[in-house]
């Protein structure tokens, strides 16, 4: 078993603390006996006394577990009464063990008592034993409540993580219904025109693209090269619809191809460009996808030569759509403030979307 997992096991922790605590008590008591000069049989006596204390603490542990879900008054009574009864039992057990082991020597050493009769009437000793049991009780409840707090914190973190993943999946899986509608409509038109081969090709491309979009976990990142391949599946579908009206330009630096980015990050941005810069223009339009690495960051650009937009500080757009809003929100969820998403004007006209991300690449095992 892995040593880290073993140490995290609460049963191992419980028994480790039990042995450490009672063993420490025995050592301290033995040192006290040494100071008082009574050492000849205490070396045998202290392990037995510590063992009895350990067994009594286990009885208290079972009582606390039994009353854990009871009314508060029952728990308070258990915390007060159980240590006292354990202390009395422990005290008389120690007296019995001490008396039997010391025999005649008890008359010589008298540590820490003056006689067997006084041992039974030594309420100070019972009080001391009670304090030991109360200390054990305090430590038990302190550790118990600390563990409950940690469990609650872990549940909170798990819930937050699940909500975070659900949010990302929702954003990633919000495929534009217009894209599916237009694609299916184009396939239908091809079938009616008896261009069955082209229709079959388009269905195959759509299938591959949807398979890619569903197979990739939105919490995982893919290389930019994989993302470009998936984007080309989508663009192949759109090329059937727009033919020569859709002009594409890829400017991907080799170093940027290995960069890790969220899957399907570029597709909604390109879809937005096709919707506003190509579909509404008789002559169509051009879309440029660029990527480069600079100063430890990945710089991405999706630019078109459409009618452009009215923007303020690079953030607000009159061409608002699900694609732009979702992409901005996904980046914010994944990278926080360690990213940027800016909209600007393409010279002489059009829209440029600029994304800045930390440059990360997949670690290759040696």
pLDDT tens across 213-236, in order?
A: 777 666 678 899 988 988 888 888
> How far apart are alpha carbons 49 and 360 in whole angstroms?
61
> How far apart are alpha carbons 80 and 83 in whole angstroms?
6
- Asked if pLDDT for residue 52 goes beyond 60, the answer is yes
Higher pLDDT, residue 119 or 93? 93
Q: Which helix (H) or strand (E) holds 345?
A: strand 340-345
Comparing C-alpha atoms, which of 297, 309, 312, 303 is closest to residue 274? 303
Residue given tokens 């067997």 in the structure block: 116
Percentage of the chain beyond pLDDT 90 is 16
> How far apart are alpha carbons 182 and 259 in whole angstroms?
32
| 328-364 burial: b if 16+ Cβ within 10 Å, else e | bebbeebeeeebebebbebeeebbbbbbbbebebeee
Sorted by where each starts, the structural domains of the chain and their CATH numbers stand as: 3-167 (no CATH), 173-358 (3.30.565.10)
- DSSP for residue 301: E
**CA angle in degrees (0–180, nearest 5) for 126-130-131:** 120
**Phi, psi dihedral angles at 290 (to 5 degrees):** -125, 150
- Asked if pLDDT for residue 206 goes beyond 90, the answer is no
64 upstream amide cis, omega within 30 of 0 = no
> How far apart are alpha carbons 58 and 300 in whole angstroms?
64
Please give the C-alpha separations between residue 73 and each of 82, 144, 243, 282, in angstroms, as whole numbers.
14, 19, 81, 82
Confidence band (pLDDT; 50, 70, 90) for 70? confident
- Asked if pLDDT for residue 357 goes beyond 90, the answer is yes
- Asked if pLDDT for residue 310 goes beyond 60, the answer is no
Confidence band (pLDDT; 50, 70, 90) for 108? very low
Q: What confidence score (pLDDT) does residue 257 get?
A: 93
Of 13-22, 158-167, 344-353, the poorest mean pLDDT is in 158-167
- Asked if pLDDT for residue 25 goes beyond 90, the answer is no
Cβ atoms of 300 and 359 within 8 Å: the answer is no
Residue 194, Ramachandran bin (φ over 0: left; ψ between -120 and 50: alpha; else beta): left
Average pLDDT of the chain?
A: 78
Q: What confidence score (pLDDT) does residue 252 get?
A: 95
């Amino acid at each position: 078993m892995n040593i880290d997992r073993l140490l995290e096991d609460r049963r191992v922790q419980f028994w480790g603390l039990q042995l450490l605590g009672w063993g420490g008590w025995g050592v301290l008591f033995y040192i006290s006996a040494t100071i008082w000069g009574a050492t000849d049989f205490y070396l045998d006596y202290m392990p037995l006394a510590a063992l009895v204390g350990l067994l009594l603490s286990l009885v208290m542990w079972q009582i606390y577990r039994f009353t854990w879900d009871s009314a508060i008054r029952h728990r308070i009574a258990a915390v007060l009464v159980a240590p006292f009864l354990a202390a009395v039992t422990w005290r008389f057990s120690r007296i019995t063990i001490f008396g039997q082991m010391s025999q005649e020597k008890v008359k010589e050493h008298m540590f820490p008592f003056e006689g067997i009769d006084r041992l039974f009437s030594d309420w100070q000793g019972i009080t001391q034993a009670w304090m030991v049991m109360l200390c054990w009780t305090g430590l038990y409840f302190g550790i118990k409540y600390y563990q409950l707090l940690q469990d609650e914190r872990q549940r909170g973190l798990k819930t937050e993580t699940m909500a975070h993943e659900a949010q990302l999946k929702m954003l990633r899986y919000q495929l534009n219904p217009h894209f599916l509608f237009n694609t299916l409509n184009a396939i239908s038109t091809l079938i009616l025109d008896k261009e069955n081969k082209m229709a079959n090709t388009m269905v195959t491309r759509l299938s591959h693209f949807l398979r890619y979009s569903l197979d990739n976990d939105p919490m995982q990142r893919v290389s930019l090269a994989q993302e470009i391949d998936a984007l080309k599946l989508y663009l192949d579908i759109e090329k059937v619809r727009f033919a020569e009206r859709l002009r594409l330009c890829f400017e991907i630096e080799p170093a940027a191809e290995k960069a890790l980015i969220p899957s399907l990050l570029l597709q909604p941005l390109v879809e937005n460009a096709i919707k506003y810069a190509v579909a509404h223009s008789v002559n169509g339009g051009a879309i440029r996808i660029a990527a480069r690495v600079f100063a430890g960051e990945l710089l991405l650009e999706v630019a078109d030569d459409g009618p452009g937009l009215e923007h303020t500080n690079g953030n607000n757009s009159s061409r608002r759509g699900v694609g732009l809003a979702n992409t901005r929100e996904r980046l914010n969820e994944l990278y926080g403030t360690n990213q940027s998403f800016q909209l600007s004007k393409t010279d002489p006209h059009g829209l440029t979307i600029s994304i800045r991300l930390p440059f990360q690449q997949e670690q290759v095992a040696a």
